[in-house]
């Protein structure tokens, strides 16, 4: 499945038609392919105030083979090779006056940004500020980055990462993610890192080598894509879905050399059966415990609240929220999770913005966000993480069932003017599952092209 309008608008005939009618022409996004360089061109790194991360960023870029150019001056803005990334170290902000430095650096550099370029702002969390003036300047980054993201053209994105004092080692993995094609549909987002023991850098091509990853709802849609991306990145995938989806599930699992496990995750004995299955597998092939669990299975049963029966309400809560809670708890209790396990829970933009006709769904997906936030400190104690990913409009069978008007509007009202693909959600989840994402915990990452809903 793909976003039909983006494909059409970028065809020869479609380009002519959209130009003549003045219709938007969404860009074809730079998406990750194995073997691809981190960036397809040079990057520039600048600072506002006395930043402390410039050297770290430059080292990560050079290590990835990226040419780092000197900051562009306002009058030299149109010369030279187009930039693939513009990175601002704003960790030195002391008050609003320093923000002029951000403007002075970003404006000429962004003029030279190539299509599918990346703007990334690194700052310190406003909550840790030493004075109201510093908190104001740090919080200003929020409005700045969200606005830049809305102004960028041609598939370029802007995001911010808050790096508290002591969390410098957590930066490299997120930095590489945001610059790479893996983050194609992540736009206008702010991520806060935590201090963590980050293992030495993994293999870029196989960051999940030797890992065992459980993916629920893996028979189709986003879940099938998660399973495929995880396997591409080196994981052995245990693909879980309901028995009625058994044939599709087997196809997905066989296609990636994984294992299919038919299970209705809402069944009373589902957590126990999953634990037993994982223990047997561990005994059979001598593997370690489970490294990654992706709670992706989800359903919708839409109705206005006043017309909603208990069956609709309860079934959505059971699949989308209660099963995630029960299975995670059972895996913890049974001690089948590796100490540095990664749990990724699929939420939804509806859980942030709310959606008419989806009180049950939105409540369940908001619940997922609360759950990961509450569990994060417990996971951090053992070196593990738990995060949520909130997809916006993603082109799948779930969204194909929407009325055409709702579907078309839903997929266009974002800064990238297109629906995301399952692989965009999968890449984000695979990144959160990597050892190098140790410093990302309790967060909800939206994969929504900076949707206007809930922004």
Ligand X SMILES: NC(=O)c1ccc[n+]([C@@H]2O[C@H](COP(=O)([O-])OP(=O)(O)OC[C@H]3O[C@@H](n4cnc5c(N)ncnc54)[C@H](O)[C@@H]3O)[C@@H](O)[C@H]2O)c1
* Residues forming the site for ligand X (CB under 6 A): 216-217, 219-223, 241-242, 245, 264-266, 296-299, 319, 346, 348-349, 391, 393-394, 396-399
Radius of gyration for the chain, computed over Cα atoms and rounded to the nearest angstrom: 22
Reading the block at residue 118, the tokens are 């990346």
- Residue 192 C-beta: closest distance to ligand X, Å: 22
> Residue 92 or 221: which CB sits closer to ligand X?
221
- Indicate the residue among 242 and 278 with the shorter CB distance to ligand X: 242
Tell me the angle at which helices 172-179 and 54-63 cross, rounded to the nearest 10 degrees. Answer: 60
What burial letters (b/e) apply to 361-390, b meaning 16+ CB within 10 Å?
bbbbbbbbbebbbebbeebbeeebbbbbbb
Q: Which residue has the tokens 């206005």?
A: 304
Helix axes 99-111, 132-151, angle to 10 degrees: 20
Q: Is 185 a catalytic residue?
A: no
- DSSP element (H, E) containing 277: helix 270-285
Rounded to the nearest whole angstrom, what is the least distance from the CB of residue 415 to ligand X in the complex?
17
Return the SS3 of 73.
coil
Choice between 45 and 319, CB closer to ligand X? 319
Phi and psi dihedrals of 218, rounded to 5? Answer: -90, 0
**19 vs 401 by CB, closer to ligand X:** 401
For 133, the token pair is 């003036």
Shortest spacing between CB 386 and ligand X, in angstroms: 16
DSSP letters, 138-157, are HHHHHHHHHHHHHH--TT-E
Helices (H), 382-444: 397-400, 404-412, 422-432
Residue 254, by phi and psi: left (phi above 0), alpha (psi -120 to 50) or beta? Answer: alpha
Nearer to ligand X, 86 or 263 (CB): 263
CB of 449 to ligand X, least distance (A): 11
Closer Cβ to ligand X, 213 or 242, answer by number: 242
Map tokens 């490299």 to a residue.
Answer: 172
With a CB cutoff of 8 Å and minimum separation 6, the contacts of 86 are 43, 44, 46, 106, 109, 110, 113, 117, 118, 119, 120
Minimum gap (Å) between residue 411 Cβ and ligand X: 9
- What is the smallest separation between the CB atom of 349 and ligand X, expressed in angstroms? 6
Handedness of CA 231, 258, 326, 382 (dihedral sign): negative
Under a CB-based contact definition with an 8 Å cutoff, are residues 389 and 447 in contact?
A: yes
Q: What are phi and psi of 198, to 5 degrees?
A: -95, 125
- Residue 346, classed as helix, strand or coil, is strand
Whole-angstrom Cα distance, residue 348 to residue 343? 16
| Cβ at position 398, least distance to ligand X in Å | 3
Q: 194 vs 328, which CB is nearer to ligand X?
A: 328
* Distance of alpha carbon 144 from alpha carbon 244, whole angstroms: 48
Shortest Å distance, C-beta 245 to ligand X: 4
Closer residue to ligand X (CB): 175 or 346? 346
Contact 351, 416 (CB under 8 A): no
Q: One of 32, 162, 185, 361 is an active-site residue; which one?
A: 361
Nearer to ligand X, 124 or 424 (CB): 424
**Residue 391 — φ and ψ, nearest 5°?**
-70, 150
Cβ contacts of 369 within 8 Å, gap of 6 or more? 347, 351, 352, 388, 390, 444
Closest approach of Cβ 395 to ligand X, in Å?
A: 7
Residues catalogued as catalytic: 361
């Amino acid at each position: 499945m793909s976003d039909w309008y983006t494909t059409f608008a970028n065809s020869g005939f479609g380009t002519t038609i959209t130009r003549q009618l003045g219709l938007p022409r969404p860009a074809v996004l730079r998406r990750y392919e194995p073997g691809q360089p981190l960036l397809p061109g040079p990057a520039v790194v600048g600072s506002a105030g006395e930043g402390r991360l410039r050297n770290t960023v430059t080292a990560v870029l050079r290590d990835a083979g990226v040419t780092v150019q000197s900051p562009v001056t306002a009058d030299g803005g149109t010369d030279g090779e187009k930039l693939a990334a513009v990175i601002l170290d704003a960790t030195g902000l002391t008050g609003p006056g320093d923000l002029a430095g951000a403007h002075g650096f970003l404006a000429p550099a962004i003029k030279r940004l190539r299509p599918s370029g990346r703007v990334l702002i690194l700052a310190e969390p406003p909550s840790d500020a030493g004075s109201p003036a510093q908190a104001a300047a740090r919080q200003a980054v929020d409005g700045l980055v969200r606005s830049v993201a809305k102004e960028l053209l041609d598939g370029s994105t802007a995001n911010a990462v808050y790096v508290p004092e002591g969390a410098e080692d957590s930066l490299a993995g997120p930095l590489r993610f945001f610059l790479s094609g893996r983050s194609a549909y992540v736009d206008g987002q702010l991520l806060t890192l935590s201090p963590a023991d980050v293992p030495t850098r993994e293999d870029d091509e196989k960051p999940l080598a030797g890992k065992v990853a459980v993916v629920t709802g893996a028979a189709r849609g986003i879940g099938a894509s998660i399973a495929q991306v995880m396997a591409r990145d080196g994981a052995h995938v245990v693909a879980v879905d309901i028995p009625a989806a058994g044939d599709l599930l087997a196809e997905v699992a066989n296609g990636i050399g994984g294992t299919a496990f038919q299970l209705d995750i809402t069944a009373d004995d589902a957590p126990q059966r999953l634990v037993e299955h994982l223990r047997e597998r561990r005994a059979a092939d001598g593997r370690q415990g489970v490294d990654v669990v992706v709670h992706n299975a989800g359903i919708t049963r839409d109705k206005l609240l006043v017309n909603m029966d208990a069956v609709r309400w309860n079934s959505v809560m059971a699949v989308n929220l209660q099963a995630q809670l029960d299975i995670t708890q059972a895996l913890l209790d049974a001690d089948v999770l590796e100490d540095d396990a990664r749990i990724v829970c699929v939420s939804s933009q509806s859980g942030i913005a709310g959606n008419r006709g989806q009180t049950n769904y939105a409540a369940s997906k908001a619940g997922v966000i609360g759950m990961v936030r509450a569990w994060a400190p417990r996971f951090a104690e053992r070196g593990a993480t738990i995060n949520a990913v909130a997809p916006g409009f993603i082109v799948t069978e779930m969204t194909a069932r929407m009325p055409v008007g709702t579907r078309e509007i839903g997929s266009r009202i974002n800064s990238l003017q297109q629906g995301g693909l399952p692989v965009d959600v999968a890449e984000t989840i695979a990144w959160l599952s990597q050892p190098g994402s140790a410093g990302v915990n309790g967060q909800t990452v939206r994969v929504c092209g900076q949707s206007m809903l809930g922004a």
